[in-house]
Structure formats: structure tokens, C-alpha cells
Amino acid sequence: MSLQVLVRDNNVEQALRVLKKKMQREGLFREMKQRRAYEKPSERKAREKSEAVRRARKLARKKAQREGLIPDTRKKRPDDMRNGQRPGARSTGVGGVGTGYRPPPPRF
């Protein structure tokens, strides 16, 4: 497994941010933290089992929320906030001046 990040215009700070995000996504930070000390096989089995239970509960909760069996507990945002505007701001159209629209940064 190898991660590759391109440095553009000698912008090392941006490349480091991208690298950290990729490492976080891959789970490398969590793995390094676990490998700092020896983990007994019994502890490893218990941890993996609890992680599997947590994932299964989360999946079941999401499914129940989609089906309407339990209410969605996430905070609701006003429609204006979803479009990247502050509440009460007038819209001038998609991507027009004053809409707060900014194209997403390029992905590496």
C-alpha cells in the first residue's frame, strides 16, 4: 500500500493536508496508535467484536431511520444553509455573485 501526493507550486502545507486526509481515510493513524503497545490476542478479539457490534448497530439505526421507524436525530439545517447561504440572504441564481458559491478545490 502506498500513498502518493503531488506537491504543486512548492505548496508543501497543502500537500501535507492532503496526505493527512488520505492517511486518516486509510486508517493509518488508528493502526499506528494500536501498534504502540502489544495487544494480547484475547484483547484483540474483544476489540474487533465490539467494533463489529458498533458497526452493525449503526447500520441498523440508519436503516430504521430511512424506513421511518425511528426519528432522524441529526440536526436539521434551514434550506438557505444547504445552498451555502446565510439565513435570509437573497439568492441571485446558481453560482451568481453573492450566492456564497465557491467551486470545490481540486482533488489529488
* Stretch 88-106: mean pLDDT: 64
pLDDT tens column, 18-75:
999 999 999 999 999 999 999 999 999 999 999 999 999 999 999 999 998 888 877 7
pLDDT of residue 84 exceeding 90, the answer is no
* Stretch 74-102: mean pLDDT: 62
Please check whether residue 71 is in contact with residue 87, taking contact to mean a CB–CB distance below 8 angstroms: no
User: Domain spans of the chain?
Assistant: 12-70
Phi, psi angles (nearest 5°) of residue 78:
-60, 155
**What is the distance, to the nearest Å, from the Cα of residue 106 to the centroid of all Cα atoms in its chain?**
17
Interacting residues of 24 by C-beta distance below 8 A, sequence separation 6+ = none
Q: Which three-class secondary structure state does DSSP give residue 97?
A: coil
